[in-house]
Structure 1
Amino acid sequence: MRVYGTASISRSFSRTHHFSVSRFSTSALRLNLKRARTDQPADRWNFNRSSLVDTDDFDVLKYKLVNSNELQGGEKPPRSVKMLVRDFIEDSLYNPHYGYFPKQATIFDTVDTAFDFASLRNEVEFQEEVGIKYAAYGADGHSGPGKQLWHTPTELFKPWYGKAIAQCLVSEYLLKYFPYEDFVIYEIGAGNGTLAMDILNHIKEEYPDVYDRTRYQIIEISANLVSLQKRKLRSVHPCVKISHQSIFHWTMREPSPCFFLATEVIDNFAHDIVRYDLNTLEPRQGLVVINGRGDFDIVYTPVTDPLISSFLDLRQRLGHPIPVHKLLQRSPRLRRIYRTLPFVPNMSTEEFIPTRLLSLLRTLRTFFPRHRLLLTDFSSLPDAIPGVNAPVVQTRFRNTTVPCTTLLVQPGYFDIFFPTDFERLRDMYEDILSQPSPDPTGAARSSPDRHIPINLTSTPLSLGSNFFSSRLPSNRRRPVDGVTSASGLPIGERKSSVFTHAEFLQTYADLSKTTLRNGENPMLDFYKNVKFLF
């Protein structure tokens, strides 16, 4: 679950303890392999890696390279294999047989009763009320990981949080598309369906004419959550359609203008690990290696993965710096001197790069060419493991949330979630949208193109696109072919902006509904480490 406070939030609620040695995490793969060749009994405790351990005789080439898609059919975590770090994370979180979300995670739900904010004295009393609702889920037993329970602002502040997002979307729709286009909303990772319910209830109550033209499409990877969303939403809002699949496997093209929601989702998107050779500054990709007994290690090889290469090329094009000191980057001589110092590694520190986030942005560009993205998630996290842009890895054990110090943990029992650099995300997003629209070969259309008075092809009018200006405004994207203004001139969509959690809610929320008796407002004061991209 997510801890809330005035400074920062992570998915932990109770008192936390750090540990670096656990029966759930392994990393002394080579040491254990060496012991296995002797007559000594194997030690099943797992140890932190040490540069002093002799590992020269370890041969990773004998293991098969696999990916998360190939592992979906397996009923147990794989052994004697190697995989990219993102595939290890995806398998740990989403494998349908033993993954964290299909089998362990429980999303906190206030059921049919929301908090009566006006009756609460202050934020301390509000937190006590949250604790009471958590207690209703029962205590953990004393063997093995406990109930993996966490919450989101959607659940804590329902229905007012969902109403704020609904108001944002409706305002944009009324300004640009009503009444000529349908109100089309896509949501990925809809959880309990609470956000969808609150959005649709608000539209139905406040904008009935808009509701009549609303289509709400959920894309959900969890079979359990798909069943829950169907039971919860379909009888109340027939406009809801739910697809049980990963957004990364999406193949339907949406030609209409649409709004794309990703709330508290991308923090669980898998990342890869990259380190830079301090002699040559060449990048190296991380591979998780799992031996026959289920012990883990990470090895680094030259970058061969196309997605990692694409991310590194994009970062270079955008001018985002690599995590190596500028002086070392500029001077090969200084790097040689630095490398002669005692205990200095031959590679830079681990950097977690958002390769799956890049996949999402490409999917949006390809299959949702006229979308408007509303995305919100963590911008920073406490208790992260070592590394640049590193995740929090944690589980709940004996009623206590326990953050780990390593990524190499038993698949399925641990939540793995990342912060997002929203300014870099905005740069990536705008750069990808500025690229020529790809032709999704074989992609099916979700609905036929509709020809309406303001949806004419812009190609015959392309010469007039800059008639009143010598250049395209810097805060606008280049026009999408097929989109024209009422005057007949092609227009460019406004570029995305980054907002703090409070800035977004101050713009769109009815804050009087979540204000406590002493004037505090937890919907504004909590989640200070969350941002919006819109």
Structure 2
Amino acid sequence: MLPLGAVSSRCLWKRPAHDLLRRSLSSRPSWAKAKPKVPTKNDPNVPRDKWNYNVSPLIQTSDSKHEELKMVNANALENATEPPRGVKMLVRDFIEDSLYNPNYGYFPKQATIFNTDNSTVNFESLRDSVEFQEAVGQKYAAYGADKHDGPGRQLWHTPTELFKPWFGRAIAQCLVAEYLLKYFPYEDFIIYEIGAGNGTLAMDILDYLREEYPEVYERTRYNIIEISGSLVALQKQRLSKAHPGVQVIHKSIFHWKTKEPAPCFFVAMEVIDNFAHDLVRYDLRTMEPYQGIITIDSQGDFDTVYTPVTDPLILEFLELRRRLKHPLPVNRLMQSSGPLREFYLSLPFAPNLSKEEYIPTRLLSLLRTLRNHFPRHRLLLSDFSSLPDTISGVNAPVVQTRFRNVTVPCSTLHVRQGYFDIFFPTNFERLRDMYEYIISHVPRPSSNSDPSLPMRSTPLTTNSTSMLLGDDYFSSHRPSNRRSPLDGVASASGLPVGERKSSVFTHSEFMETYADLSKTSLKNRENPMLDFYKNVKFLF
């Protein structure tokens, strides 16, 4: 196993953290500054506190005790009131338990979404982006100072809150343009949003529709799917009076079982970065994949062990990657040459496993849910395409917390459950390939399939041909085989057969298309809604 690394720090606006804070978090206790001794098994002098203690990676100390630990998953831990001990779990279950456990998870108990209440930034009065950041900093300061005896208020912001209502209105314009083009007036305007936070995006979208498209607003059904009980209460409180038609459903999207037969729009803004990932490494001798399992012993100490892949969801993702021909995180020459791998492994201190890779298995679960339960949806999704200060590994996450009003990133996933945010970047081009492949491969209807599902996408279609035309008709990863559009035959997204069902946009490209940029322009003609969030992309 790799040793735990030192903790570094940065704050929200990339200002360097105070050296004293860094030393206070990464310095070793007095016993660790003495001449190191090789620890032996059952040595009573070996400190039990391992927060700042690392056994040399050159010393083999591992044993098979992890085999005796009970295997659990995040669902089994939902009723736990404290982080578990004496257990082991897949990495995705560890992340889900850390972030979403109802009793000690990060989002239910620690996270606070930055909220400007009813105030908005007066962009036209600000000189430049420096003044804009100062204005946002003052709003952060209004939350007060953190306590000094533990993790501080886990405060984080989204573009929805920073640029309200103009960001939400851009999203609304995108959705309503598609609705008017494809479905009005024959279908209702149905929107599903997951991870709605404070409900600000829903409020801004519905306000915009009521003001600019009243005839569409009357036909709008807005549904929020929210996993956090506290946020459910907040969303209902904020939205019920202003927009009584909003329905807030307290449920995880991964537990969703209801089928929506009508055309709808599915919105996920700044959500999938917190979707749990699994950890995979490859045996460099055989190229066999191994799944990462986090172990927690009776004293609460963490470790990671690797076993041959047996989890069905990991296996499904690896098979999907093979079908899409996405490259493995191993040098191609190494993959193709057994003798070269043997030579590499013969070198001193050469690792026998590839670098850690975090794979988006929960994102795969979401795509399956969309295919199975929202067969006629159109997806609008936005999130980080890259991140700074990630831990080691391919597609690795940022693991961070706030301490004394400073955001502190860590260098390991082995952190106390509930006290740290864990979020990942997304490769949007690969996501698009995955999405189109999964949506295109519709399961064959069984004899007891739901008869309420229509065989045609809208009343506008004139051809009664079934949408189930075969897997290859919709394939986007082999353009030469793509079927040309057929009259009257539409895909699940409402597009003709053969067309791409989604496109990837940078944040600025999307805003230039749908936003009223005059509302967020500064005196010097800078536009923070275009210039900020360079590491964010959209899928639509």
Query: Does residue 249 in structure 1 map to residue 251 in structure 2?
Result: no
Q: What is aligned with 1:42?
A: 47
Deviation of 1:97 (Å): 0.3
**SS of corresponding position for 1:459:** coil
Query: Does residue 91 in structure 1 map to residue 122 in structure 2?
Result: no
Q: What is aligned with 2:266?
A: 260
Query: Does residue 199 in structure 1 map to residue 205 in structure 2?
Result: yes
What is the CA–CA distance in structure 1 between the aligned matches of 2:411 and 2:401, rounded to whole Å? Answer: 12
Deviation of 1:39 (Å): 2.9
**SS of corresponding position for 1:83:** strand
Q: What is aligned with 2:244?
A: 238
1:257 and 1:371 in contact (8 A); partners too: yes
- Seen in structure 2, the aligned counterparts of structure 1 residues 113 and 474 have a Cα distance that, compared at 3 Å, is farther
Query: Deviations for 1:234-292, whole angstroms, at most 9, x for unmatched residues?
Result: 11111210111100000000000000000000000000000000000000000000000
Alignment of 1:114-193 (within 5 A): 114-193=120-199
What is the CA–CA distance in structure 2 between the aligned matches of 1:41 and 1:384, rounded to whole Å? Answer: 31
- Seen in structure 2, the aligned counterparts of structure 1 residues 118 and 56 have a Cα distance that, compared at 3 Å, is closer
- Seen in structure 2, the aligned counterparts of structure 1 residues 418 and 125 have a Cα distance that, compared at 3 Å, is same
Deviation of 1:342 (Å): 1.2
**SS of corresponding position for 2:379:** strand
Query: Does residue 279 in structure 1 map to residue 285 in structure 2?
Result: yes
What is the CA–CA distance in structure 2 between the aligned matches of 1:282 and 1:22, rounded to whole Å? Answer: 39
- Seen in structure 2, the aligned counterparts of structure 1 residues 272 and 461 have a Cα distance that, compared at 3 Å, is closer
Name the amino acid aligned to 1:407.
L
TM-score by length of 1: 0.89
Name the amino acid aligned to 2:303.
D
Deviation of 1:52 (Å): 1.6
Query: Does residue 331 in structure 1 map to residue 365 in structure 2?
Result: no
Q: What is aligned with 1:26?
A: none
- Seen in structure 2, the aligned counterparts of structure 1 residues 389 and 479 have a Cα distance that, compared at 3 Å, is farther
**SS of corresponding position for 1:61:** helix
Q: What is aligned with 2:114?
A: 108
Query: Deviations for 1:8-41, whole angstroms, at most 9, x for unmatched residues?
Result: xx99346455788599xxxxxxx9xx77833336
**SS of corresponding position for 1:328:** helix
Name the amino acid aligned to 1:503.
E
Query: Does residue 12 in structure 1 map to residue 12 in structure 2?
Result: yes
TM-score by length of 2: 0.88
What is the CA–CA distance in structure 2 between the aligned matches of 1:483 and 1:403, rounded to whole Å? Answer: 39
- Aligned pair count reads 508
Alignment of 1:58-97 (within 5 A): 58-97=64-103
What is the CA–CA distance in structure 2 between the aligned matches of 1:425 and 1:483, rounded to whole Å? Answer: 16
What is the CA–CA distance in structure 2 between the aligned matches of 1:144 and 1:283, rounded to whole Å? Answer: 39
What is the CA–CA distance in structure 2 between the aligned matches of 1:92 and 1:241, rounded to whole Å? Answer: 28
What is the CA–CA distance in structure 1 between the aligned matches of 2:73 and 2:447, rounded to whole Å? Answer: 24
Name the amino acid aligned to 2:216.
V
Deviation of 1:438 (Å): 5.8
What is the CA–CA distance in structure 2 between the aligned matches of 1:477 and 1:109, rounded to whole Å? Answer: 48
Taking only the aligned residue pairs, the percentage that are identical comes to 64
Unaligned runs of 5+ in 2: 1-9, 29-35, 474-479
What is the CA–CA distance in structure 1 between the aligned matches of 2:156 and 2:264, rounded to whole Å? Answer: 30
**SS of corresponding position for 2:407:** strand
Query: Among residues 294, 299, 302, which one is paired with 2:305 in the alignment?
Result: 299
- Seen in structure 2, the aligned counterparts of structure 1 residues 85 and 21 have a Cα distance that, compared at 3 Å, is farther
Deviation of 1:174 (Å): 0.2
- Seen in structure 2, the aligned counterparts of structure 1 residues 523 and 443 have a Cα distance that, compared at 3 Å, is farther
Deviation of 1:311 (Å): 0.3
Q: What is aligned with 1:208?
A: 214
Name the amino acid aligned to 2:288.
E
Deviation of 1:59 (Å): 1.9
What is the CA–CA distance in structure 1 between the aligned matches of 2:413 and 2:492, rounded to whole Å? Answer: 46
1:269 and 1:356 in contact (8 A); partners too: yes
Q: What is aligned with 1:5?
A: none
- Seen in structure 2, the aligned counterparts of structure 1 residues 474 and 319 have a Cα distance that, compared at 3 Å, is farther
What is the CA–CA distance in structure 1 between the aligned matches of 2:106 and 2:155, rounded to whole Å? Answer: 11
Q: What is aligned with 2:324?
A: 318
**SS of corresponding position for 2:77:** coil
Name the amino acid aligned to 1:180.
Y
What is the CA–CA distance in structure 2 between the aligned matches of 1:381 and 1:86, rounded to whole Å? Answer: 19
Deviation of 1:144 (Å): 0.6
